């Protein structure tokens, strides 16, 4: 009879320790890091010059564009002008003014449009200019396990 009493006491004790033992490894490890959203940039084109220009057409399958631009060497300070206009190569119409700057400067501009084939029109006077266009694609960085 004593043997049966001990046996009955050990079963509840063992069954209550199993969940504790199973939880111990998970308590000592930090929780997994969540996935991180980012943008991968792909080079679409680079142009430079002085005066007006219309670029060749280029496709953008995401429609998310980054313009990194700079103007310099004004003929007369304060008289330089630089405008970048993004247009649709399909319809030939201008879509939006991306940059409208006076004088020597630099900056980065972002545009989100429907995916299509684009062109860029440059209107410039009295200064040198250069710009790069990159197309952005959404991506997810999964943590290492």
pLDDT digits (tens, 9 = 90+) for 39-67: 999 999 999 999 999 999 999 999 999 99
Q: How does pLDDT run across 3-42, given as a tens digit for each residue?
A: 454 444 445 544 554 555 455 555 567 777 888 999 999 9
Quote the tokens at residue 145. Answer: 């396990």
- Please tell me the pTM assigned to this model: 0.75
Q: Residue ranges per domain, the chain? A: 36-141
> In this structure, which topology does domain 36-141 adopt according to CATH?
Jelly Rolls (2.60.120)
DSSP 47-80: EEEES-EEPPPEEESS-EEEEEEEEE--SSTT--
Of 123, 129, 70, the C-alpha closest to 94 is 123
Tokens of 96: 């939006």
pLDDT in tens, 98-121: 999 999 999 999 999 999 999 999
Q: How far apart are CA 101 and CA 139, in angstroms?
A: 32
Distance of alpha carbon 2 from alpha carbon 112, whole angstroms: 80
Look up residue 68 and give its two tokens: 């990194």
Q: What is the pLDDT of residue 65?
A: 98
């Amino acid at each position: 009879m004593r043997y049966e009493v001990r046996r009955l006491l050990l079963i509840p004790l063992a069954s209550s320790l199993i969940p504790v033992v199973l939880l111990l490894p998970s308590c000592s490890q930090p929780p997994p890091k969540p996935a991180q959203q980012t943008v991968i940039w792909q080079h679409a084109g680079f142009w430079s010059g002085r005066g007006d220009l219309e670029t060749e057409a280029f496709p953008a399958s995401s429609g998310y564009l980054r313009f990194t631009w700079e103007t310099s060497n004004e003929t007369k300070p304060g008289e330089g002008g630089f405008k970048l206009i993004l247009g649709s190569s399909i319809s030939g119409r201008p879509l939006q003014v991306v940059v409208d700057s006076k004088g020597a400067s630099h900056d980065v501009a972002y545009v989100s449009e429907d995916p299509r084939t684009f062109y860029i029109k440059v209107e410039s006077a009295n200064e040198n200019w250069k710009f790069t266009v990159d197309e952005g694609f959404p991506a997810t960085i999964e943590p290492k396990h």
